[in-house]
Amino acid sequence: MSPRKIRQALAALVLLVVCASAQTASAPQKSVDQRVDELLSKMTLEEKIGQLNQINQGMPTGTVVNGNPVTLNVEQAVTEGRIGSMLNVTGAADTNRLQKIAIEKSRLHIPLLFGFDVIHGYRTVFPIPLAIASSWDPESAKLSAQVAAREATAAGIRWTFAPMVDIARDPRWGRIAEGAGEDPFLGAAIARAYVQGFQGELNSPDHMAACAKHYVAYGAAEAGRDYNSVDLSERRLRETYLPPFEAAEDAGVATFMSSFNTIDGIPASANPFTLRKVLKGEWGFKGFVVSDWNSVGELIPHGVAADGADAARLALNAGVDMDMCSGDYIRYVAGLVKAGTIPESVVDDAARRILRVKFELGLFDHPYTDEKREANDTLTSTNMEAARDIAEKSIVLLKNDKDTLPLSKSVRSIAVIGPLADSQIDMLGNWIGKGEAKDAVTILEGIKAEAPEAKLIVSKGVGVLDPSEEGIAEAVNAARQADVAVLVLGEKGEMTGEAASRAKLGLPGKQEKLLRAVMATGKPLVLVLMNGRPLTLEWEARHVPAIVEAWFPGVQGGNAVARILFGDVNPSAKLPVTFPRSIGQIPLYYNALSTGRPFTDPKAKYESRYLDSPNTPEFPFGYGLSYTKFAYSNLQLSTARLGNTGVIKVTAEVENTGNRAGDEIVQFYTRDLVASVSRPVKELKGFQRVSLRPGEKKTVEFTINRKQVAFWNADMKYAAEPGKFEVWVGPSSMEGLEGSFVLVE
């Protein structure tokens, strides 16, 4: 070919490329739904069902021979399109290896979705969620989720089984540690923040799909015993337990997880009312529902399914789109469709929902993770700084008689006592992702860093659960040699979370005996609590001069606690859950319904009261102290009447009357005095964090409209009813300035 012809051919080729590019550029971009429908039209029934199956790497799942489970050949199953998702595969190399099989060897090249329990951090472990809720700071929850998502996606994890948004009013339930406490308004605010933090722009490589769990009412397990049944009214379900889930759905959460428990006798993983009517119908949820671990298989011991095929039929028809690890969908759904007991349209809907999430995550366009990120994006100095800052905002000062705290950095000697003072693993709590104990800063280490010149006299004293008392004498001797004693007591991290219910809520083991013995020395004493639930602290609250609730504060918890103890940080956190005086008061929560015989007179017998205890809690919802003082004044309502439209502005002044700068979490509550059904004695309707210098005063403003005072009335209609309402603005659910307004038609 001559040079001229070569040039002509090259020019023609360039023109062809340019024209093709122009055509591509002008072609309309297909929507996610169009891409899903196009893919679904190419799929066989078996391939659709494959998307509905999630397996755990290395676990027996899929087939049974002579009654014995056989481990699924994962690579073969992925190649055949029989798996849609895997959990507990971690590490970029492993996720990329399996993803490559799905992309290159399966007929339709559908990517896998890798899930993992990223609850309060992946490698950088943050305080437990109950602690983060104590910050009353949705931005802290959002930031913790952003960091966790960045670290987890670097390992190829694009789906987290979080946030847990269950309302929990029984501290015996171990999983109270994983949520935001007892209140639906606070819980909804925290739920929205977590979803926004995890998901961000969902198709960006450093964000992941979130999962609102456990749907629904899992936190209401009878007797606080995990996996137990739940029995409550539809009104209680809608007003208390559903709002945080609805907030997550409003925030665009990609997935929901169905829970283990029954609701009015119907298991949540086979409950068409909650799954089809409310979630997918009333709320219009477009994502997918995954079962909790084997909750489809557990329909059999629940007594509603005869066998695995029956369980698969009930769950899928009810609205559980993906089966986590029971294997019942992969074994039985094809036969059930062919037998006509599951319509193929139900399978299509479930597969469509799962595929939509995969497209929205960008997995079809970018299925692999950059393996360099795994080293670069985890445990960074920025992440650790965020962990410390959030821990500082999450630590609650429960008591501080005679200004025992903060400690002076010039103190000469400190006795650091207790089984948790230098326990790295217990700093992290439960569900620690891929966190490692070696990265955690203990409270002892934090104190050393804050007071490097002080002599530290260290004594474990007793174990958390060890019945031995041999170390108490040594601890007492340590306290006698010191100017002040810091005792770090509480629960081990493994004592909260799933399958960790407790029938007694005092300090476990011999820890109270240790505390009493050290108190008897007469030395100034600070009690630092590490725990994942409210404890009963009747003796401690009356005798210990200073009590700090640190929860399980995470990888930077030791530094955060020490900075609180020595006054570098002024505590600002407030309790998201009530601390009872004794276990006999449970359930105890601030927004209880009115009773016909409220307790008003200690001398009266026929009132709602105990013979042997006050009704009031040890520490109420919304409570928390500071190293400064705040005064509330000048409550004003912009109008005394609220109509069908418009709002009432409620303002109050908050002043820092102490000598330290500090943050106050100002809370706004209402009460509907007369309604068609009994209403709570108080309901949280707003909160704000206010930073004040000594002597500074600020005006805080809340608004209230008709929708905010609506409820499920006697006819089970969501509506506001005319009448008088009381309002409070104050520092907790038991204190505040009071006003009122009238709602009119």
DSSP 407-473: PPTT-SEEEEESTTTT-HHHHH-S--TT--GGGPPPHHHHHHHH-TTSEEEEE--S-SS----TTHH
Quote the pLDDT of residue 69.
60
CA distances, 133 to each of 35, 166, 182, 590, 628 (Å): 39, 13, 10, 16, 22
Alpha-carbon span 680 to 742, nearest angstrom:
17
Asked if omega into 171 is within 30° of 0 (cis), the reply is no
Q: Among all chains, which residue has been given the structure tokens 């990265």? A: 439
CA distances, 185 to each of 59, 138, 233, 254, 469 (Å): 39, 12, 19, 21, 45
Quote the pLDDT of residue 71.
65
Quote the pLDDT of residue 732.
98
- Of 137, 292, 328, 663, the catalytic one is 292
| Cα three-residue angle 330-358-333, rounded to 5 degrees | 15
CA distances, 588 to each of 210, 547, 618 (Å): 31, 21, 11
Quote the pLDDT of residue 174.
98
Alpha-carbon span 138 to 145, nearest angstrom:
11
Cβ neighbours of residue 307 closer than 8 Å, sequence gap 6 or more:
300
292 part of the active site: yes
Q: Which two tokens stand for residue 79?
A: 């190649």
Question: What's the whole-model pTM score?
Answer: 0.94
Position 744: which residue type?
V
Quote the pLDDT of residue 21.
45
Query: From its phi and psi, is residue 326 left (phi > 0), alpha (psi between -120 and 50) or beta?
Result: alpha
Taking the chain (745 residues) in runs of 10, the rounded mean pLDDT of each run is 44 43 59 97 98 82 52 88 95 97 98 98 98 98 98 98 98 98 98 98 96 98 97 97 98 98 97 98 98 97 97 98 95 98 98 98 98 94 98 98 97 98 98 97 98 98 97 98 98 97 98 98 98 98 98 98 98 98 97 93 91 96 98 98 94 98 98 97 98 98 97 98 98 98 95
Domains and CATH numbers, the chain: 381-585 (3.40.50.1700), 630-743 (2.60.40.10)
Alpha-carbon span 290 to 254, nearest angstrom:
11
Alpha-carbon span 426 to 488, nearest angstrom:
11
Alpha-carbon span 327 to 309, nearest angstrom:
10
Alpha-carbon span 96 to 593, nearest angstrom:
53
Quote the pLDDT of residue 400.
98
Sign of CA dihedral 50, 218, 166, 130: negative
- Paired residues of 121 in beta bridges: none
Alpha-carbon span 257 to 163, nearest angstrom:
10
